[in-house]
Amino acid sequence: MSPIDLNAPPENHKVSVSVEREETQGERWVRLFKDVVLFLVAIAFVVVVAWLCTATVTSDAATAEEKKWAMSVLSAATGGIIGYLVRK
């Protein structure tokens, strides 16, 4: 095996060096806990908004303008979820 001179790399080659800090078990646990809590809060928020919009659409007391607004929000949420699932 021949040594490689990092000051003069071979033609059509790129040299990169990185120094990365290793994540400890405690840091990993905190990161994963934070991600799970954030995911659950986001899901709860979407469910509450969808429930409020559905209640507005089905309500007899809601005006036509309120129902139109609620349908717009439901359509946007549905489009966002479908776009997330299809990923295009």
Q: What is the pTM of this model?
A: 0.64
Residues 6+ apart with CB under 8 A from 69: 56
CA-CA-CA-CA torsion sign (55, 57, 62, 66): positive
pLDDT class of 88 with cuts at 50, 70, 90:
low
In this prediction, residue 7 has a pLDDT band, given cuts at 50, 70 and 90, of confident
Q: How far apart are CA 34 and CA 28, in angstroms?
A: 10
Q: What is the pLDDT of residues 34-52, one digit of tens each?
A: 999 999 999 999 899 999 9
12: left (phi over 0), alpha (psi -120 to 50) or beta: left
Residue type, 79: G
